[in-house]
Chains A and B, each alone.
Chain A
């Protein structure tokens, strides 16, 4: 059982990595949350009956773990740090995309826990129905909340003096 589990985690660890990056501000907290998610997944693994995909079940456990995780560092993100870097000269397309992602990650830190979950599931390509199922809310509620979160995210990024 342990080997099967580890194999599945190895296959899907990018999900956990991105999720911890979304929820935590610094490297140490990210590592801790990553470890916590693996631990909780392992603890809940006996209840996984294989009726859904491993990744579907994993999203749910990992998200719930992130929601109840107690941050060690509660500092607010320093959004101004990135705006300074904007003045640098010309960007290649790749650099620009990396910059956009960096701005996105910084902006996401200002969202609440549920908004982070919504945007994460959206970026993972989940439909409104799937998002609703993962979070245990109605499809309509998921749609409304996701749209509001997108608007909020756009506003935050604009306030940082950036747009894409």
Chain B
């Protein structure tokens, strides 16, 4: 195969007429912009969830009677979760903004994006796990305290006495919790992989191909 001849042919190749497309794209189709789009959706999704949570906490006591202790527990969880969520959202926003200014003119920028995305995915997974654990803890606490209030109302030492009532159900309940948690974690893993992981993998494969052979 004569590559010099091929090079000449390449240079002489007749290019069909090609008009210049509009400079603004409605929907970019590259890995980086897809990640950014997913991030934007997740960002607003989390904010909407926080607002709905806040609205529920404020409005529900007006609509139905809720015991003070239940409100106290719910607010405690909400505030703690909000603080973690705000910290996460700030980090999230910083990465999103920085990646917008990302110029495609340097391969280093692709590496930067790769490493940032990788740490973002780890952080996002951890955040979701924390949210899951907090959600479960909150649900359990509210359920447990609510059950105590209902069944042994007016007596002292409510929590320990109520154990007699739910003791028989405990093994099933624990099994359900374990299965539920595992299912949620697996679901979370696949969801994050679908939204971000596959793009990270694509970037890694491409960038690895550029490495020096003796770097491995």
- Nearest opposing residue in chain B for A144, CB measure: B213
* Chain B residues touching A, range: 35 or more
Main secondary structure of the interface of A (DSSP, over half): helix
Inter-chain contact count A-B, CB under 8 Å?
127
If A137-B210, A154-B1, A164-B2 touch, does A39 touch B24 (CB 8 Å cutoff)? yes
Contact A113 B209 (CB under 8 A): yes
B20 contacts across to A, CB distance below 8 A: 6, 9-10, 13, 38
Query: Closest CB-CB distance, A128 to chain B, in whole Å?
Result: 14
Name the interface residues of B162-198: CB closer than 8 Å to any CB of A.
none
| Distance in angstroms between the alpha carbons of A48 and B24 in the assembled complex | 18
| Distance in angstroms between the alpha carbons of A121 and B213 in the assembled complex | 20
Query: Closest CB-CB distance, B106 to chain A, in whole Å?
Result: 7
| Distance in angstroms between the alpha carbons of A114 and B199 in the assembled complex | 17
Contact B107 A64 (CB under 8 A): yes
Q: Is B9 in contact with chain A by the CB < 8 A criterion? A: yes
Contact with B along A145-164 (1 / 0, CB 8 A): 00000100110010000011
B13 contacts across to A, CB distance below 8 A: 18, 101
Query: Closest CB-CB distance, A19 to chain B, in whole Å?
Result: 12
B39 contacts across to A, CB distance below 8 A: none
B109 contacts across to A, CB distance below 8 A: 64
A6 contacts across to B, CB distance below 8 A: 20, 23
| Distance in angstroms between the alpha carbons of A38 and B25 in the assembled complex | 9
Contact with B along A103-142 (1 / 0, CB 8 A): 0100000001111000000111100000000011110010
Q: Is B157 in contact with chain A by the CB < 8 A criterion? A: no
* Chain A residues touching B, range: 35 or more
| Distance in angstroms between the alpha carbons of A32 and B16 in the assembled complex | 16
Contact B28 A39 (CB under 8 A): yes
Name the interface residues of A45-90: CB closer than 8 Å to any CB of B.
47-48, 57, 60-61, 64-65, 67-70, 72
Which residues of B does A touch, CB under 8 Å?
A: 1-3, 5-7, 9-11, 13, 15-16, 18, 20-21, 23-25, 28-32, 34, 103-110, 199, 202-203, 206, 209-210, 212-213
13 A-B residue pairings within 8 Å (CB atoms): A16-B18, A17-B18, A35-B21, A38-B21, A38-B23, A39-B25, A48-B105, A61-B104, A68-B206, A70-B29, A70-B199, A122-B3, A154-B1
Which residues of A does B touch, CB under 8 Å?
A: 2, 5-6, 9-10, 13-14, 16-18, 32, 34-36, 38-40, 42-44, 47-48, 57, 60-61, 64-65, 67-70, 72, 97, 100-101, 104, 112-115, 122-125, 135-138, 141, 144, 150, 153-154, 157, 163-164
